Structure 1
């Protein structure tokens, strides 16, 4: 996964790669954007877990709108929003965001799916791992897992200096 910031229009607002990876690792959710079956845009906010390399895992129902769209058009983007602070007096907003581009995979092995469920439990319910693992096993037949492999990502941020 390559950090590519040279296409960001506002070069004065680039986020360093270390902070972008921190957001990828620690954020609770992101927005998966894809092309719908009919060719229109489709985006959905969801929880995810990063594998520490170049992929994220997302859990979902065994069938549904996301899976239909991804079956037809697997190329996606994923947006993570970090800190946001509205500054009404300045008519602006401080923000952080990371956008990743990649390809979604929806037909994973049972072993990879269970490993992904464990990663999700580790991240989203760290104080309840034992119960979460058992729950994952019992509900395994009611879930699907999407893996998104990213090829590149970029980060952008805006901070407003405090007036003296």
Structure 2
């Protein structure tokens, strides 16, 4: 598939800038094909590493079912939203990524993703406490990997 180019090409961010935005931010919106063909967009926490996005989710629910029915998804992170009223404009910076989502099956990959999420969102916790949390709750969550095929910023 050929993805669309940004309409305002001269404002497009370099891939490195997009990756920095994805690495720095803590929340984004995942959009999938939901029930009845309606889009389903859900805000969530994530990590970005090695060209992919990782999310955790429950063992059942709308997001997981939607991705099992259609693995194509997009993910948007807003990095800047500065309103400039005197110019009737907004200085806006965001990244939109498109890709295929898969459910991680291998226990080591799941643990690594949970560990990376824990380090990002609870950096003050000890490694021992994090491993204990993974041991206690790791079996109750799924990890979804969104392999990025196209990204604009």
Pairwise same-fold verdict (TM > 0.5): yes
Which runs of structure 2 are paired with 1:20-99 in the superposition (5 Å)?
A: 20-51=18-49, 53-99=50-96
Structure 2 counterpart SS, 1:139? helix
Root-mean-square deviation (Å):
1.8
1:6 Cα deviation after fit:
7.3
Which residue of structure 1 aligns with residue 9 of structure 2?
11
Q: Quick one: distance in 2 between partners of 1:61 and 1:30?
A: 18
Which residue of structure 1 aligns with residue 99 of structure 2?
102
- Cα deviation, 1:35-91, whole Å, max 9, x if unaligned, reads 01321101011000112x221110111111100100101100111110211112222
| 4+ aligned runs moved over 4 Å, structure 1 | none
1:125 Cα deviation after fit:
1.3
1:129 Cα deviation after fit:
4.0
Tell me the number of residue pairs that the alignment of Structure 1 and Structure 2 aligns.
151
| Residue 144 of structure 2 corresponds to residue 140 of structure 1 | no
Q: Bigger shift: 5-14 or 119-128?
A: 5-14
Gaps of 5+ in 1: 156-164
Q: Is the Cα contact below 8 Å between 1:70 and 1:104 reproduced in 2?
A: yes
TM-score computed with the length of structure 2 as normaliser: 0.91
